[in-house]
Structure 1
């Protein structure tokens, strides 16, 4: 039974492939919900699944099947629908594995996202470069309407391949409330709710800048959204679980892995500069006011291709004269294996760690030839020489390559219990942009400042978007936003973090969230799997900024 016909309670039980296995049971047993969702597909995951498939392993997430073994019986008893993108590269195989559990559930799979082998325009959507390699995978980001159609046809479980993360919430919302393509504001609200839920515990205090304020983070509860007919929602969690839902934790997740305030998707463009957040009681945050615009005429396609082979060796450089020691180590290594023999070399020295990564299309060049050359310097290098990595062979790496295709060229396919379900995508709504919202009034004028770490007044969250990194920064006191907007310009960011100086950076203001967002183009190279950075997903970039000392508003 639906606990309240006026609200749809959508729970999350996974933010990535490898998240807490017990979360599905916790969400089903912890309180009333209508839909259980889970997100398994980061950009890197499709490449991981492709590698698994090449080795004869499943092209889907087996952990989802294990979760269904724990909770599907209870879900059927209580009428809880399950929606997940755990199908990865093989939604039909995942559906078959769940069916074999024997619960008698009606299981739908959504396909049509796989465009591998199609004649695609492989121009990189971020950089404009052409691709001169054969794609290993190519999957379009589908929206929520095929999910809604599967639920309308009677599915108890809907398993998809590559859909947008927010589609796991938008699809059930379309099914429950009957939203049409022109209901842009409601659709946009559901996208925002989906974005908040998609990373699991990051909405309930996980990875939060002010983590010391979060109770019992070791037993952090997963989030759920009470979604209303107008697209507004309340973000909360089950009672008795650890963590906290606050305006701060929700703001942090809203700023994660975004670019422009216009957040595009297959169903709608959600305007993040219109989001309004309000405290709705303990562990409850109301999300409202979201405006929507017609979706673009294109869909994003995640292409992965094999980039070559890579190898990394890490040395410890301690004691005196560390910079000179690091230079000597490099000279000794390149004397044995020429630096020019590699396609790419990345050297980072963050005392005491000297980390050298090489890449080459030739496995032999990047493999033992390199690692053995490093070891050979062991008795003819700097004093105190020792390494943290044994000599090893090179490993293959993949490159994430985003492209765009006409949405009309992608045709979702739905099967329910193996039988095709008739589906025709809706006609697109009229195009047009929502009015630009009035800027949130900035209270007060200049205020006294003190010299202190930025993290005393700002929160931050950072992450990866292909080869780019995003860095969202917010202040908790509205009176401090005028300072943030003036002080944290692109030039100001580069002064605080000089290693960002070579990169093009876009800056966006979100006064409604008392925040600014930066997109650092090219910081992650060719994407997470190919990035030589020690922090390949830029997870720590925000905390690096918070540790810098500057003139900040006085307490």
Structure 2
């Protein structure tokens, strides 16, 4: 590694299980780096790996990483780049062994360590996988002892950055401002190209057909710069970093196992082309409990989508709904949901644009109730229902679905251990100082702009947004790029206005968080995703498009901003 007085250059090559396969090679060859991180785990991924492990007890890790590493292990060794990844999933020891075998076969000397202690499945009966979110000090211990590759299971996404930073600069638990700065950098890097123009509201600002992957230059005081390798696609500016900063966060306190980062203290400034400086971050002691992500099987799910074409759409939908309700009356599924999506247009010049979609989703603990019974009832209507009857695809036998839940345990309930390349085991002490989380009072608001002429227009003409999921909840972060727009937004986009613009949110608890330094509002919507992404409660089960729906809604915007 570089000397501690120099910034630590940490890159990312994966934001999810299935991300760009060539990114590891691109990052190793695109410029100077000290550490490369790969994030493979999400709530849904843990469920997928849990089902893999049911079939094969030696499975449970991201096999893609091994294939990526096969062509890049020599490059990493030649360039002295260390690799830290949570690709170990449910079986970090298994992946560490597989990497050792790969390195031996390739003849490349590689010291592989792993972190364990997150697996609490045995303590949560009925779980397919229950894993605590560990912090970065297990990773730091592995790196301090000379590991070239560190494999983890379920750590926080930001721990992939805080661990290397703590190892490099010698940070200790309790150095909260420094750790919080690394947490913010880690959160920006964790989703790969989302920080460099991917999924960006203002994507037309640059060529984002193949955005490069991000990297952070982290300094000893915890400040940093977000950038990317020279010549790679996409862009890094205050907007792209703000967008990723708001992704899957909530209020001003961003809690983790090592530190609670105060998001309301973050300052972002453009530091040159494709460089954004991150500074001012303050940290507090972590909360007294660790988050545990618990995945379990919730039952069986099935769906069928009826195509309704031409006239009388509402009447056609009512007819088939009544027919199926009668047909399933003897043994109705436990949960039945109908959604009519009006994709049809009057006097359409193609059949597809003349058609609406009626979606039926059923769930039940019994596969028979959602499988053969529904399939038979739906298909038997083929010649006995509304005119033009057809479906997008016949319903299948029903598939199992998962449920994600957050539970919490004391820090001491996990045995956080760094397992070194030579077999030594280093216990990682739990947090000694903790602080109970509480909401931050809304900061003073700027003065509202004076009245003036307005025009009815989409919010997205002046505001960006990004949204995502946390279990059954969703967040939608909204930001603007000028102070005048901020003065208008913070007074205009109240919780009530948010609910008016997104009617699905009206019956649900909605909380607004104000982040003036970023000229941003972050809304959390509780329960909109039901029991989490694997339950597929709504057609956008991870709320990825919720922010773009909000941007498309019309309201009265001052003409001066347009």
Q: How many residues align?
A: 541
Contact 1:439 1:512 in 2 (8 A): no
Moved over 4 A (4+): 430-441
State which drifts further: 50-59 or 509-518. Answer: 50-59
In structure 1, stretches of 5+ residues that fail to align are: 121-132
Q: 1:340 to 1:485 in 2, by over 3 A?
A: farther
Distance in 1 (CA, whole Å) between partners of 2:439 and 2:307 is 56
Give the deviation of 1:445 after TM superposition: 2.4
Tell me if 1:446 matches 2:432.
no
1:503 to 499, 508, 519: 508
Q: Distance in 2 between matches of 1:104 and 1:97?
A: 14
Instruction: Indicate if the aligned counterparts of 1:46 and 1:89 stay in contact, CA closer than 8 A.
Output: yes
Summarize deviations over 1:410-429 as a string: whole Å, max 9, x none: 11122223603323416524
1:354 matched to 2:346? The reply is no
Residue pair 1:3, 1:32 contacting (<8 A) in 2 also: no
Alignment match, 1:414: 418
2:377 matches 1:373: yes
Residue 127 of structure 1 is matched in structure 2 by: none
TM-score (norm 2): 0.93
Q: TM-score, normalised on structure 1?
A: 0.94
SS in 1 for 2:407: strand
After superposing the two structures, state which structure 1 stretch, 232-241 or 338-347, moved more: 338-347
Aligned counterparts, 1:325-336, within 5 A: 325-336=316-327
Task: Report the CA distance shift for 1:468/1:433 in structure 2 as closer, same or farther (over 3 A).
Answer: closer
Per-residue CA distance 1:289-318 (angstroms, 9 max, x = gap): 011000011100011111100001111122
Aligned-residue offset at 1:372: 2.2
Q: Distance between the aligned counterparts of 1:542 and 1:83, measured in 2?
A: 32
How far the C-alpha of 1:391 sits from its partner, in A, is 3.0
Match for residue 130 of structure 1? Answer: none
> Displacement, 1:439?
4.8
Query: Contact between 1:312 and 1:355, CA under 8 Å: does it hold in 2?
Result: yes
Alpha-carbon shift at residue 340 of structure 1 (Å): 6.5
1:197 to 186, 189, 194: 189
Matched, 1:115 2:123: no
Asked if structure 2 preserves the Cα contact closer than 8 Å seen for 1:11 and 1:224, the reply is: yes
Identify if the C-alpha distance between structure 1 residues 178 and 4 changes in structure 2 by more than 3 Å, giving closer, same or farther: closer
2-structure distance, mates of 1:421, 1:193: 29
Q: Which residue of 2 aligns with 1:124?
A: none
2:412–2:430: 8 Å Cα contact kept in structure 1? Answer: no
**Given that residues 4 and 169 in structure 2 are in contact (C-alpha distance below 8 angstroms), is that contact kept between their aligned partners in structure 1?**
no
Shift of 1:49: 0.2
Kept after mapping to 2: 8 A contact 1:339/1:345: no
Distance 1:27 1:233 in 2: 19
Distance 2:535 2:146 in 1: 42
Q: Deviations over 1:46-67 (max 9, x none)?
A: 0000111122272000111111
**Aligned mates of 2:209, 2:137 — CA distance in 1:** 36
1:75-121 per-residue CA deviation (whole Å, 9 max, x = no partner) reads 11221110000000000111111111122200001010001112x5x
For residues 533 and 418 of structure 1, the distance between their equivalents in structure 2, rounded to whole angstroms, comes to 48
Match of 2:336 in 1: 345
2: CA distance between counterparts of 1:427 and 1:268? 9
Q: CA contact under 8 A between 1:145 and 1:171: conserved in structure 2?
A: yes
Unaligned runs of 5+ in 2: 343-355
- What is the CA distance between 1:219 and its match in structure 2? 1.6
Q: Which residue of 2 aligns with 1:211?
A: 203
Q: Which residue of 1 aligns with 2:284?
A: 293
Give the conservation status (yes or no) of the 8 Å contact 1:13–1:23: yes
Change (3 A) 1:88 1:241: same
Shift of 1:226: 0.4
Q: Secondary structure at the match of 2:52?
A: helix
CA separation of 1:430/1:409 partners in 2, compared to 1, >3 Å: closer, same or farther? closer
Partner of 1:7: 7
Match status 1:246 vs 2:250: no
Please tell me the root mean square deviation across aligned C-alpha atoms, in Å: 2.0
Which of 526, 529, 541 aligns to 1:524? It is: 529
Structural mapping, 1:69-108, within 5 Å: 69-102=70-103, 103-108=108-113
Rounded to whole Å, the distance in 2 between the matches of 1:100 and 1:430 is 41
Give the stretch that moved more between structures: 321-330 or 337-346: 337-346
User: Is the 1:293–1:433 contact (alpha carbons within 8 Å) kept by the matching residues of 2?
Assistant: no
Deviation digits for residues 253-288 of structure 1, max 9, x if unmatched?
011001121000001000111110000000000010
Aligned to 1:393: 397
Shift of residue 354, structure 1, vs aligned partner: 1.0
Among residues 364, 381, 388, which one is paired with 1:384 in the alignment? 388
Deviation per CA, 1:327-364, whole angstroms, max 9, x where unpaired? 11111111211297211112111121211110010011
